[in-house]
Structure 1
């Protein structure tokens, strides 16, 4: 049986390298039979060569597409999401803040818990049934994809046999048939033999295209194998998740729900007593704080003078600051007047000197 060589190809290797497929002796004999039946001069034989396998691959692709289309891919995931949503909704509704405080708090909470548990319990039961149904369907899918994968391997083997037979026939044509016909045509110069040689060349080219088409079909089959496994692995993973939910999550949640209800019953009286104690302590605490604050305020107002010492200090500081600023302004005024008097004296002297100089100049001119 031919097996697929799926060794990864390095990026530096030749990407056009042919797929290596080992054959058994029995398969090699079958390849020889296929090759011997090939009639390159028959257009019908060339066209029909391997077409049966190609048709099987086409039907096989349609079958896979049908499986993917009819498969409810999101059904199981939606059920698991609904399960999580129901549990979250239960927690939110149970733990939401009540409108009536103190005595009604625990009572309302316990009532909400019972109501929510009854509602969610029905939903959980329906979800369990749906999960079991999805689990069975996924198990069937895994079995179907095992069969599809095996059929894909068989198609790959069958196509490889036809391709090997075609390549051997092409090798024989290029190495033996065409050289012989060319030599005979050149030796005899017979027009019929020349035309026969040209026709054979065209037949070989057409058959090469046919073998190439078979290789393309085999590549489609080659790519389909990992796709089948990916879909199958997804289904298997989802089966594991569903199984975990059925045997772990749901029973665990139910057990915790029973414990929650039991704890709620035992805490009901304690919650009521705690509310009374807290209210009493809060009332005493507030009264004590109010009495303390009122007494201190009264004592402060009683001991307070008509005018606060801080006010007197502030007024005294303002008076002293005002006097100091006035004195500073007066000192600055005296300094400025002295400067002005000096400047006036300097200006007067400069004027006298200029007048005397002007008079002396007039005498010299005369």
Structure 2
């Protein structure tokens, strides 16, 4: 075909399928040597061979649709839902008030409470950080699994396309043979039977039976081809849903959670610095009352210490923003998963119905 590699007829046919009407493709396939050889291989005298014509690709597409159903039945969606619920419970423990400026008071009260407050703060957010890390690891694994599934679906889509093209060739070859039987072999036998030839009458009955069986077989292969055709968009829907999930997981969790964890560490450290600074500031004030001669010098140092220790590297607003991003990601991911679950269920039901029709037609 105009210098194209002889090893890529399927690729050429796929490209034509994407840009030409199905009727034109069928007409083109009639001239394919492979299709003509398939038509010649059909022996109208061998009933068993007619009944098994195209059996291999038909069985393969039926088995392949079961694989798609298997992918639809995976419990990744349910597992991810549990992860999101767990992450949501962890995020509920975050309280912005924990990092607000401590209320003023006497030095003795501030000094006594600060150490206990810091212990509680460290304990709470250290535990929260560990829990987030566990969920983060699981979410990262889930993202990797979704990426792997998407790649596998792409291979399955390609394989499904190959099955469809193979079945199309078998259907066209069967139609060629059917046309040959009806136009070149059937009329002479009918004429001879009308003339009273007994042997011709027997051959005519056999030929009519073969034509009927071949028509039924072509119909069965057409149903199998329909299963392949209906499976393709289901695969693409699964891929699209997975891509949305991967994008949302990456933006809302994989990127944001490490920033949120780092922010927690800095925020707790900043809180400690603020409490120490407040304690020192109050101590300086009381000392200043007792030592008026050194008031200016001590006050200046207190301000310097407060300035140095009071400014955190990461603002609490950034932590709060990360918090809201994660919560928003949980809601949006749940919505995407529910939509994917619905599409999986619809696709599973459609494929099962097609398979039932296909199997019932074979029994008739």
Tell me which interval the TM-score lies in, with the shorter structure as reference length: 0.5 to 0.7
1:151–1:119 CA distance, 2 compared to 1 (3 A)? same
1:21–1:111 CA distance, 2 compared to 1 (3 A)? farther
Equivalent residues in 2 for 1:43-192 (5 A)? 43-70=47-74, 72-91=76-95, 94=98, 110-186=118-194, 188-192=195-199
String of CA shifts for 1:202-252, please: whole Å, max 9, x gaps. Answer: 221121111001000000011111111222222232222332245421122
| TM-score, scaled relative to structure 2 | 0.62
1:198–1:127 CA distance, 2 compared to 1 (3 A)? same
Q: Distance in 2 between matches of 1:48 and 1:167?
A: 16
String of CA shifts for 1:6-50, please: whole Å, max 9, x gaps. Answer: 79xxxxxxxxx9776468779811100000011123210111100
The one of 260, 265, 274 equivalent to 1:258 is: 265
8 Å CA contact 2:186, 2:204 repeated in 1: yes
Q: Distance in 2 between matches of 1:75 and 1:155?
A: 33
8 Å CA contact 2:30, 2:173 repeated in 1: no
| TM-score, scaled relative to structure 1 | 0.61
RMSD across aligned C-alpha pairs, in angstroms? 3.6
Q: Which of structures 1 and 2 has the larger relative contact order (alpha carbons within 8 angstroms, sep 6+)?
A: 2
Q: Distance in 2 between matches of 1:270 and 1:171?
A: 96
Give structure 1 regions of 4+ aligned residues with deviation exceeding 4 angstroms: 4-7, 17-20, 22-27, 92-95, 101-111, 269-273
- Number of residue-to-residue matches in the alignment: 263
Q: Secondary structure at the match of 2:142?
A: helix
Q: Could you tell me which residue of structure 1 aligns to residue 244 of structure 2?
A: 237
Q: Distance in 2 between matches of 1:148 and 1:192?
A: 52
1:175–1:245 CA distance, 2 compared to 1 (3 A)? same
Q: Distance in 2 between matches of 1:88 and 1:27?
A: 68
Residue ranges of structure 2 left out of the alignment (5+ in a row): 1-9, 100-104, 281-364
1:33 aligns with 2:37: yes
Equivalent residues in 2 for 1:314-329 (5 A)? none
Q: Distance in 2 between matches of 1:120 and 1:158?
A: 56
Bigger shift: 154-163 or 26-35? Answer: 26-35
Q: Could you tell me which residue of structure 2 aligns to residue 220 of structure 1?
A: 227
1:64–1:227 CA distance, 2 compared to 1 (3 A)? same
Q: Distance in 2 between matches of 1:66 and 1:81?
A: 26
